[in-house]
Amino acid sequence: MSFAYEVKIDGKFKFLEEGQGEPLLLLHGLFGTMSNFTGIIDHFRHTHKVIVPLLPLFELDLLHTTVGGLEKYLSKFIDQRGYNGIHLLGNSLGGHVALVHILKSPGKIKSLILTGSSGLFENGMGETYPKRGDYEYIKKKTEITFYDPNVATKELVDEVYQIVNERMKTLKVISLARSAIKHNMQNELVHINTPTLLIWGNNDIITPPFVGREFNKLIKNSELHFIDHCGHAPMMEVPQEFNKILSEFLQKLNSTAAN
């Protein structure tokens, strides 16, 4: 699927914004890019304003290359653009950033959607870095993101490989991965009251199914859906099933609000 959306620029922010309606704001993970969300954008731009900020994973100074640093960036972005009543969706590290944000500034968030989110437990990729230039290692690591290793196209592996091969970027990846592992949110999740949807791959080996169950237990107003034959990035691997679960959740939310 070709990625044909135009990147917009507003001050220091780069982002996609497609469609009209309630804001559906998507946050990618550590090795993520905007194209991870093609399936969601294609589907929801007909009913929502779909927004994908390009998170500055490699632009912040090393000290601020943390989950908290990314959350500050997100917060400024939301203020700058004047979004409100947001459905905030995060995959992997993006989910972690969404969680930190909703605990700090719940006011503008209408619902939270987490898929393969870090924040409780993850089999990190950033902790044990191989010598740079080990393409096969990167290929394997990218493939384990998915149930079907063929989803890890050469294009995707090349993208990750390029990141890892730049020393400063590698340091920032490690910094973000460590920050995510250190910033465990177990004790904070009970304070989230926002309606929450959890979509988990049954074959996720990075944030395994028990992590989804734990989020479900700790976030009181949450519902959990598992998808079979699916790994750590359901919105990429099984976009139709993912979009169906998300559509039903958003419709239910609106009909509840209307009553």
Q: Is the distance from CB of 29 to CB of 163 less than 8 angstroms? A: no
Pick from 1-5, 144-148, 246-250: least confident: 1-5
Distance CA 200, CA 2 (A): 26
Label residue 23 by pLDDT band (50, 70, 90). very high
The 10s digit of each residue's pLDDT in 79-110 is 999 999 999 999 999 999 999 999 999 999 99
Label residue 136 by pLDDT band (50, 70, 90). confident
Burial label, 147 (beta-carbon count in 10 A; 0-12, 13-18, 19+): buried
Query: Token pair of 255, please?
Result: 């009909």
Pick from 124-133, 154-163, 221-230: least confident: 124-133
Label residue 181 by pLDDT band (50, 70, 90). confident
Distance CA 181, CA 115 (A): 17
Q: Find the DSSP H helices in the chain.
A: 38-44, 67-81, 93-104, 135-143, 154-164, 167-182, 209-218, 234-237, 239-258
Cut 0.85: pTM above it: yes
Query: Token pair of 18, please?
Result: 């497609």
pLDDT score for 1: 40
Query: Token pair of 162, please?
Result: 């390029």
Residue 127 has pLDDT above 60, yes or no: no
pLDDT score for 3: 58
Query: Token pair of 249, please?
Result: 């959740």
Label residue 133 by pLDDT band (50, 70, 90). low
Q: Is the distance from CB of 24 to CB of 51 less than 8 angstroms? A: yes
Distance CA 38, CA 3 (A): 7
Average pLDDT of the residues in 112-140: 77
Distance CA 39, CA 257 (A): 27
Q: Give percent of the chain with pLDDT exceeding 90.
A: 67
Cβ partners under 8 Å of residue 82, min gap 6 = none
Distance CA 108, CA 83 (A): 8
What average pLDDT does the chain have? 91
Query: Token pair of 237, please?
Result: 């691997």
How many residues would you count in the chain? 259
Query: Token pair of 138, please?
Result: 């990167």
Cβ partners under 8 Å of residue 205, min gap 6 = 123, 144, 231, 232
Distance CA 3, CA 37 (A): 10
Average pLDDT of the residues in 101-124: 92
Domains of the chain: 8-123+184-258 (3.40.50.1820)
Query: Token pair of 10, please?
Result: 């507003």
Stated as kind and residue range, the H or E segment containing 223 is strand 222-227
Residue 126 has pLDDT above 50, yes or no: no
Single-letter code of the amino acid located at 240: Q
